[in-house]
């Protein structure tokens, strides 16, 4: 995982995501999930492109079931964008990079 992507845990979710000054895109994933592996390099690229504007994090749902349950994650990958501690957008499944950019740009008001 690149240094632009934060590894999230149940214990650090509040601090890293809910209290973040920047919008945060969270990738809820698991190592056994094929579509999650397809999305991972896109998340890495977006982390570089939006550095300083948006924070990116990955949460392994197998290792962090409390957070996954809190947000009703039933299908992975699920991407949620948080702003000011609230979910402002959600994408379920593997999406192309341009669709993810649209969602991020909308949140940034671009």
**Helix, strand or coil, per DSSP, at residue 27:** strand
This prediction has a pTM of: 0.94
How would residue 4 be classed by pLDDT, with cut points 50, 70 and 90?
Answer: confident
**Can you tell me the distance from the alpha carbon of 87 to that of 26, in angstroms, rounded to the nearest whole number?**
10
Q: Tell which residue, 24, 9, 1, has the closest CA to residue 60.
A: 9
Catalytically active residues, by annotation: 33, 36
Q: Residue 110 above 90 pLDDT?
A: no
pLDDT at 17: 98
CA 87 to chain centre: 11
What are the residue ranges spanned by the domains of the chain?
5-108
- Residue 28, phi then psi, degrees to nearest 5: -85, 120
What dotted CATH number matches 5-108?
Answer: 3.40.30.10
Q: What pLDDT digit, counting tens, does each position of 39-60 carry?
A: 999 999 999 999 999 999 999 9
């Amino acid at each position: 995982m690149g240094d632009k992507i934060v590894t999230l845990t149940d214990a650090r979710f509040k601090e890293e995501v809910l209290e973040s000054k920047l919008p945060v895109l969270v990738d809820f994933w698991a190592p056994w999930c094929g579509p999650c592996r397809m999305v991972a390099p896109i998340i890495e690229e977006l982390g570089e492109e939006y550095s300083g504007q948006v924070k990116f994090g990955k949460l392994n749902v197998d290792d962090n079931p409390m957070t996954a349950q809190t947000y009703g994650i039933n299908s992975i990958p699920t991407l949620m964008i948080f702003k000011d501690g609230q979910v402002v957008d959600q994408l379920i499944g593997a999406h192309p990079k341009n669709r993810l950019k649209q969602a991020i740009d909308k949140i940034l008001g671009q």
